């Protein structure tokens, strides 16, 4: 993967799951990394695991929007510019709409949508017209269709899709490249660290994720897609077929979702692959 050697890369949401997987693969492939999240000790531990790699730790909270211009400025200065920025930090809330507090739903939008937008606005001003900059957004299958108990999370990911699809068109030919990654079921802490509608931490891993793809395998899939210059792509197991299914057969897809999609996907997987 020579492609990534010496590339200046900022990974936001690097302390766990998919972001951590990206750090591991990119560090081993000679990239210059800035790793960001709130959990300082985890980031320092991650940096120490790759003593041969060029890694800078930059602590930030994407929910604290007023701090993001300065943080983005610092990230830009560290390697005198950036080639790839992974806007990957995310949080989930899982509950019925009727049981979800508005402030909890707003928090999800603040982290998953307004965080990446705030950082992007600063980056757009910093980018030299002759240079290239790749923004990599982590969306979700629920950025493509609605899912029960994930309304606010799905809204934040739909918002990412709409905003960054628009920005891509607006800036075509300027050297800014927008990539939207849609992970399927990846075995990470997203549901463990996620919230219930009342704001309490869930602490539980969702079954679909427990049986999902390893985050490092997901990271490899993401990097391959980016090497090929893909604008939008899904990385995951058989659940990735729900995207074309929804696109071409939306009525059927809605019917499937109403009748417990996760169980159905599991049943289909069992029938097709015996697991």
Ligand X SMILES: NC(=O)c1ccc[n+]([C@@H]2O[C@H](COP(=O)([O-])OP(=O)(O)OC[C@H]3O[C@@H](n4cnc5c(N)ncnc54)[C@H](OP(=O)(O)O)[C@@H]3O)[C@@H](O)[C@H]2O)c1
**Residues of this chain that bind ligand X (CB under 6 A):** 13-19, 37-39, 60-63, 88-91, 111, 138, 140, 183, 185-186, 188-190, 193, 209, 212
Closest contact distance (angstroms) between CB of 205 and ligand X is: 10
142 φ, ψ (degrees, to nearest 5): -80, 5
Whose Cβ is closer to ligand X: residue 12's or residue 31's? Answer: 12
Q: What is the C-alpha to C-alpha distance for residues 93 and 105, in angstroms, rounded to an integer?
A: 7
How far lies 15's CA from each of 37, 58, 60, in Å?
A: 6, 11, 11
Closest contact distance (angstroms) between CB of 48 and ligand X is: 16
Q: What is the C-alpha to C-alpha distance for residues 73 and 34, in angstroms, rounded to an integer?
A: 12
Whose Cβ is closer to ligand X: residue 245's or residue 262's? Answer: 262
Query: Residue length, the chain?
Result: 275
Closest contact distance (angstroms) between CB of 124 and ligand X is: 20
Is 153 in the active site? yes
Q: Which of 84, 145, 153, 163 is catalytic?
A: 153
Whose Cβ is closer to ligand X: residue 31's or residue 91's? Answer: 91
**Burial of 173: CB neighbours in 10 Å, binned 0-12, 13-18, 19+:** exposed
Closest contact distance (angstroms) between CB of 46 and ligand X is: 10
Whose Cβ is closer to ligand X: residue 134's or residue 157's? Answer: 157
Angle at CA of residue 161, ends 158 and 162, nearest 5°: 90
- Active site residue ranges: 153
């Amino acid at each position: 993967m020579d492609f990534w050697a010496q590339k200046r890369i900022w990974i936001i949401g690097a302390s766990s799951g998919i972001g951590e997987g990206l750090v591991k693969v990119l560090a081993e492939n000679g990239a210059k990394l800035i790793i960001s999240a709130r959990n300082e000790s985890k980031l320092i531990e991650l940096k120490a695991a790759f003593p041969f790699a060029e890694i800078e730790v930059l602590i930030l909270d994407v929910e604290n929007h007023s701090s993001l211009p300065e943080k983005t400025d610092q990230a830009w200065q560290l390697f005198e510019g950036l080639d790839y920025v992974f806007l990957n930090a995310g949080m989930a809330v899982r509950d019925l709409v009727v049981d979800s507090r508005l402030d909890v739903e707003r928090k999800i939008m603040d982290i998953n949508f307004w965080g990446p937008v705030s950082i992007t606005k600063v980056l757009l001003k910093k980018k030299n017209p002759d240079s290239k900059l790749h923004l990599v957004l982590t969306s979700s299958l629920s950025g493509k269709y609605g899912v029960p108990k994930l309304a606010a999370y799905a809204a934040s990911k739909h918002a990412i899709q709409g905003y960054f699809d628009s920005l891509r068109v607006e800036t075509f030919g300027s050297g800014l490249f927008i990539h939207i990654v849609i992970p399927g079921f990846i075995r990470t802490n997203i549901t463990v660290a996620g919230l219930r509608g009342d704001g309490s931490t869930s602490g539980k891993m969702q079954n679909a994720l427990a049986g999902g793809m390893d985050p490092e395998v997901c990271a490899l899939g993401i990097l391959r897609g980016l090497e090929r210059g893909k604008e939008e792509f899904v990385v995951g197991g058989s659940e990735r077929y729900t995207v074309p299914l929804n696109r071409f057969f939306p009525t059927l897809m809605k019917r499937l979702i109403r009748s417990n999609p996760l169980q159905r996907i599991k049943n289909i997987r069992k029938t097709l692959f015996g697991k």
